[in-house]
Structure 1
Amino acid sequence: MAGTTALAAAAVLAGCTAGASGNESDTDDPIRIGASLPLTGPVADRSGPGYNGYELWAEQVNESGGLLGRPVELVVLDDGFDQDQVVSNYTRLISQDRVDLLLGTFSSALNLPASAVAERNGMVYVEPSGGAQEIFEQGFTRLFFAQPGTSETLPDRFLEWVESLPEDERPATAAFLTQTDPNTEPAVQGIQDGLEALGVETVYDDSYPVEQTSFDAVADAIGRAAPQVLIHGAVAEDGASLVQALQRVGFTPEVLFQTNAPTDTVNYPDSIGAENTEGIFTPVSWTPSAQFPGSQEFVEAYETKYGTTPNDDASSSFAAAQILQTAVEAVGEIDQDGIAEWLHANTVETIAGPMSWDERGVPQGSLSLAQWQDGRLVIVLPEDAAETSSVVYPKPAWVG
């Protein structure tokens, strides 16, 4: 049975049920906001900070007096990273718990079916994670992604960097590995297509299921192929597990690009060794040093409450809640259609920067390219957001 966590907080969201209208401040009843998160299972290390982002947002909103004069209560269910359970959870949140608003879950694999539940029930669905193009090809009108870009644009900055290298310094060979995930697979394929167009030869190409935990055989095969570039479509702990296996076989690629996993600024370096993070690339929606309005205040509040620095899972959840909050405040009542129409027509300022969406709910921007340097994850592209002008290349050999 899915677990339930309820956080009562005098928050910023007006009480909002589908079809509700009128002066929302006439009642003191809390606005119930529902979400399902994989708090257990293989991506629990990603959704934990995501839950914190929702929780911190609600507390801050509460302290400000609530939205439209009403308190907010978060109702969060655990789906254990199971697609059937996430469908059951969102169905329960809507029909049984009768929440007024929804926030999304983590990963494309879960948001794909969850967003369909929201659409069938006429509910706005702002998702913090899950940029697979498949999600946005469903024709939904109340779906919005709370990051600057999706998997469609994820390869762009990395390919831009490779293309910027003098031809005699560009890598000649590459290996591609991905978890079978609707977000990582097209992203890795996009990078492979781009590198091959630049003349880079593919010497290894494979995938693995979500339940795989041992990567020794994979690392051995990659080591024997000896690619200069290794592109890994990781989701969570599989990122560190592959690196550990590469360390055991003694193979260090000149370039290592992983999705998702390296953005965990606590567990990832702890797992592979802080020195070994040096030079690893990853796409990011946000970093703790971002200077967007409210971002540094978010970092300070998060560190004070949780005793650790937030990653972009935490910031994406906080931004998703900001987006929903801003739309409800602008509409002035809980009107699902009105909220969706307003979001399609406007730009929202968040801690991850300004966001706007097309008719599919796709954000009109792209992710940044970050790299681990001197124990920190820093943005290297695009130039207007870069925190450093230098790039570590080739990657130093594993130590320890």
Structure 2
Amino acid sequence: MLAAVIACAAPAAARAADPITIGLGMALTGGLAPSGKAALLAMQIWAEGVNAKGGLLGRPVKLVYYDDQSNPATVPGLYTKLLDVDHVDLVISGYGTNMVVPALPVIIQHQRTFLGLFALDANSEFHYPNYFSIVPTGGPHPKQSFAKPFFSVAMAQTPKPQTLAIVGADAEFAHNAIDGVRQLAKEAGLKIVYDRTYPPATADYSPIIRAIQVTNPDLVFVASYPPDTVGMLRAASEVGLQTKLFGGGMVGLQYTPLKVQLGPLMNGVVDYEFWLPTGKLATPAAMDFLKRYQAQAPAAGVDVLGYYLPPFAYADMQVLQAAVEGTKSLDQEKLADYLRSHTIHTITGDITFGPDGEWTEARVMEVQFHDVKGNDLAQFRDPGKTETILDPPPLKDGAIIYPYTKARQ
């Protein structure tokens, strides 16, 4: 009888020791790799910490990941493999709108709870109830919330701007951002004098900047991913773009490697930001994570400062952890129900999810780059030396240098 009990207990113990697998695709090569690799390191730091404390539900956690190559076309196949071949217990997204949107049909088909990392209103067409967004956009109008601080800064200037040029890549992120920009422009009474997209593989951006220049806009809003952000800034410098405010939705200016690469070309640009180690954002928990991240970053060959995506990648895992521990389960519906009904505490602040899994309250900042000299990394360690927070008012730490033509000098 005792032998039978032991025989029955052994498989259960073995199952309890099996890791909880968390599957994802991540940009480890291609244009999004600088942030993708940094995000993965943050997730690994979370996994190390959780496992050191006994794991989740008494089981260790294991990340199962594949390189999506910064290419949306690879994403459906990767998630199909994770779910149908690897049979992962939990699934989260890679980095960015362009990678989250193509994953969603696979997730929906498999009826999984899914966390999207830095995806702008990715669920607006699907309305999938078990999707949850980890990005500081949100509120009742997520697309507008991304660009709203840019317009808040612009429309506070004297005289008020009258005209706007909009440009972005022909891809999911830019389309969603531009949809929000058009609505904000309408509300502000701005005349749109240029509204075009360009192929994501564009190599020469000078013709685009020249075409914008012909329209003589007061404001230029750019919705770009890192490779085209670099191209746009170089072209604006070469052409000598004349405008009052330039930037808005340029992804990449938050990455330390791109800051070092671009240097003074960033001066005068007004762009979005999600988190910086300053003021009330620099909580003890956030700074503790940053210390751990920065200790490992050089050996990992990733962004050595990690101010942009890493804190949110870590928070992404904290949200998943909260749902698992709160429900004491891996049941997908129970996890989703928990996330819909609870406020989650993370190192980036408390998160409450609303319709379509967006945050109930947006927390997007607008900053201006200034006094960037050369390409030295050290100048970017203290954000206050090269970036002024212009919006929101509670975080504002300086005044804008206006217009762009003056600020870039």
TM-score range, shorter chain: 0.7 to 0.9
- Counterpart of 1:116? 105
Tell me how far apart the structure 2 counterparts of residues 398 and 358 of structure 1 sit (CA, whole Å): 40
Give 1:320-339 correspondences, 5 Å limit: 320-339=316-335
CA offset digits 1:364-388 (Å, max 9, x no partner): 111322213445345332222x141
Other-structure match for 1:153: 145
Query: Does the 8 Å CA contact 1:288/1:310 hold for their aligned counterparts?
Result: no
The CA distance in 1 between the partners of 2:177 and 2:207, in whole Å, is: 24
CA contact (8 A) 1:24 1:333 kept: no
More deviation in 364-373 or 344-353?
364-373
SS across alignment from 1:48: helix
Render the CA deviation track for 1:79-127: whole Å, top value 9, x for unaligned: 2233342111111111111111111112222211212212221221111
Instruction: Report what 2:154 is aligned to.
Output: 162
User: Given that residues 284 and 367 in structure 1 are in contact (C-alpha distance below 8 angstroms), is that contact kept between their aligned partners in structure 2?
Assistant: no
Change (3 A) 1:200 1:359: closer
CA drift at 1:345: 0.2
Determine if the alignment matches structure 1 residue 381 to structure 2 residue 391: yes
Structure 1 counterpart of 2:9: none
1:253 partnered with 2:243? yes
Q: Which residue of 2 aligns with 1:18?
A: none
Measure, in 2, the Cα distance between the counterparts of 1:226 and 1:269. 28
Map of 2:5 onto structure 1: none
Instruction: Say which one has the larger Rg.
Output: 2
Name the CA distance, whole Å, in 2 between partners of 1:190 and 1:52: 32
Matched letter for residue 379 of structure 1: I
Deviation at 1:25, TM superposition (A): 10
Q: Which residue of 1 aligns with 2:211?
A: 221
Distance in structure 1 (CA, Å) of the matches to 2:39 and 2:156: 35
Correspondence 1:140 to 2:141: no
Amino acid in the other structure paired with 2:393? E
Tell me whether 135-144 or 288-297 shows the greater mean CA deviation.
288-297
Distance 1:183 1:390, change over 3 A: same
Instruction: Please say if residues 31 and 70 of structure 1, whose CA atoms lie closer than 8 Å, have aligned partners that are also in contact.
Output: yes
Offset from partner CA, 1:322-379 (integer Å, 9 cap, x none) = 1001111111122211111000000101122111112421111113222134453453
Contact kept? 2:23, 2:90, Cα under 8 Å: yes
Structure 2 Cα separation of the partners of residues 64 and 272 of structure 1: 42
User: 156-165 or 92-101: which moved more?
Assistant: 156-165
Decide whether the 8 Å contact of 1:261 with 1:268 is kept in 2.
no
8 Å Cα contact 1:25/1:70 also seen in 2? no
Cross-structure match for 2:282: 291
Confirm or deny that 1:394 pairs with 2:385.
Answer: no
Query: 1:194 Cα shift?
Result: 2.4
**Length, aligned pairs only:** 372
- Which amino acid is the alignment partner of residue 143 of structure 1? Y
Q: In 2, distance between residues paired with 1:214 and 1:35? A: 33
| Between structures 1 and 2, the one with greater helix share | 2
Q: Using the alignment, how far apart are the partners of 2:336 and 2:153 within structure 1? A: 36
Q: Which stretch shows the higher mean deviation, 389-398 or 293-302?
A: 389-398
- Which residue identity is paired with 1:148? P
- 1:32 corresponding residue in structure 2: 21
How far apart are the structure 2 equivalents of 1:140 and 1:193?
24
Counterpart CA distance in 1 for 2:37 and 2:250 is 14
Q: Using the alignment, how far apart are the partners of 1:243 and 1:380 within structure 2?
A: 21
Task: List alignment gaps of at least 5 residues for structure 1.
Answer: 1-22
Q: Matched residues in 2 for 1:354 and 1:159: separation?
A: 26
Counterpart selection for 1:303 from 273, 294, 300: 294
Q: Give CA-to-partner distance per residue, 1:292-319, whole Å, 9 cap, x none.
A: 4621112211111104111322222111
**Which residue of structure 2 lines up, in the alignment, with residue 281 of structure 1?**
270
Q: 2:82 aligns with which of 93, 96, 108?
A: 93
1:212 matched to 2:202? The reply is yes
Distance 1:387 1:344 in 2: 32
Match of 1:202 among 167, 192, 212: 192
Equivalent position of 1:270 in the other structure? 260
Counterpart amino acid of 2:397? T
After superposing the two structures, state which structure 1 stretch, 201-210 or 284-293, moved more: 284-293
In structure 2, give the amino acid aligned to 1:287.
L
- Measured after TM superposition, the shift of residue 196 of structure 1 is 4.5
What is the rounded CA distance, in whole Å, between the counterparts of 2:58 and 2:29 in structure 1? Answer: 35
69 and 374 in structure 1: CA distance in 2 versus 1, 3 angstrom threshold: farther
Distance 1:110 1:262 in 2: 16
Greater CA drift, 26-35 or 62-71: 62-71
For residues 232-284 of structure 1, the C-alpha deviation after alignment (integer angstroms, 9 at most, x for no partner) is 001222112111011111225321123242443313322322x3323322223
Q: 1:139 to 1:219 in 2, by over 3 A?
A: closer
Whichever residue aligns with residue 112 of structure 1, its letter is V
Task: Give the alignment's Cα RMSD to 1 decimal.
Answer: 2.3
Q: TM-score, normalised by structure 1?
A: 0.85
Unaligned runs of 5+ in 2: 1-11, 299-303, 373-382
SS in 1 for 2:401: coil
Question: How far is 1:321 from its partner?
Answer: 0.9
**Match in the other structure for 2:233:** 243
Distance 1:36 1:85 in 2: 9
* Separation (CA, whole Å) in 2 of partners of 1:25 and 1:288: 43
SS at match of 1:213: coil
Q: 1:170 to 1:294 in 2, by over 3 A?
A: same
Contact 2:370 2:407 in 1 (8 A): no
Q: Secondary structure at the match of 1:174?
A: strand
Correspondence for 1:344 among 326, 335, 340: 340
Does structure 1 residue 180 correspond to structure 2 residue 170? yes
Task: Give the secondary-structure state (helix, strand or coil) at the position aligned to 1:105.
Answer: strand
The corresponding residue for 2:91 is: 102
Q: Check 1:64–1:380 CA distance in 2 against 1; reply closer, same or farther (3 A cut).
A: farther
- Cα 1:353/1:374, change in 2 over 3 Å: farther
* TM-score of the superposed pair, with normalisation by structure 2: 0.84
SS of residue paired to 2:177:
helix
